Amino acid sequence: MNDELNSFGSREKMDSQPKPFWRRYFWHISIAVLAVLLLLVASSTCSSPFHKAEDVLCQSGSNDNWSGWHLTSGWKRLDNMLLNDGSNGGYNGKSTLLAPASCQPKTMDYAVEAKIQVVTFSDNYSGFGINVREIPASTREPGYTTYIDSASENGANISVVGGDVLKNTPFRPGTAFHTYRAEVKGNTIAFLIDGAPVLSVVDNRYISTGEVGLWCANTQIEMSSFKVIKL
């Protein structure tokens, strides 16, 4: 009996003794270690070459009040914005607004990004777009254009400038600002809207640097920023 009491007392004394530090705070330590590991993974991901900072060749907007832009064909400047009044209705594929020489790329792999808001569409055919790899020496100035067409159910398009539509998909811009981005890399042309890829196509016709510009037909728009990025 005494042995049993002594044994019970010993167990009770052992249970009442404080547990080692690691046992008392096991879950706290585990959560802290996991948080550190997650931070390390996130840091290494952000610093990888696939998430490197963009190599911006030029940028226009409120930072320079569109200095160097030669405005024609309904294009105007107002309060750090470029506007088009919709008066240019005879779209023939060419850019109605060329980017200044300082914004023309020197490499054939680049992206052009413009933040644009539609004020109003008019007429049976109206739209606007970004032209890339445009060839100025040609009569028709071929190249590629990523554009928004108000008359078609498939509102987002990639086509040859003034020529065949290569690919399209449904999109309605509404009257909000959107960031439109045309990318040309090798023989791949891509169209992104608000950072999301919407179209991509492979075409072997125009693989030189060419020129960068915009067009607008029967559409009133406002553009708050424009930049060219080396890819």
**What digits encode the pLDDT tens for the residues 182-204?**
999 999 999 999 999 999 999 99
Q: Is the pLDDT of residue 30 over 60?
A: yes
Residue with the two structure tokens 């991509």: 200
The pLDDT assigned to 153 comes to 84
Residue 42: pLDDT band by 50, 70, 90 thresholds? low
Task: Return the percentage of the chain with pLDDT > 90, whole number.
Answer: 63
At 29, which helix (H) or strand (E)? helix 26-46
CA distances from 136 to 25, 39, 125, 207 (A): 71, 50, 25, 14
The pLDDT assigned to 124 comes to 73
Q: How far apart are CA 17 and CA 35, in angstroms?
A: 31
Task: Return the percentage of the chain with pLDDT > 70, whole number.
Answer: 78
In tens, the pLDDT along 60-104 reads 999 999 999 999 889 999 999 999 999 887 667 789 999 999 999
* Phi and psi angles of residue 52, each rounded to the nearest 5 degrees, phi first: -70, 160
The pLDDT assigned to 37 comes to 76
The rounded mean pLDDT for the chain is 85
In tens, the pLDDT along 109-127 reads 999 999 999 999 987 789 9
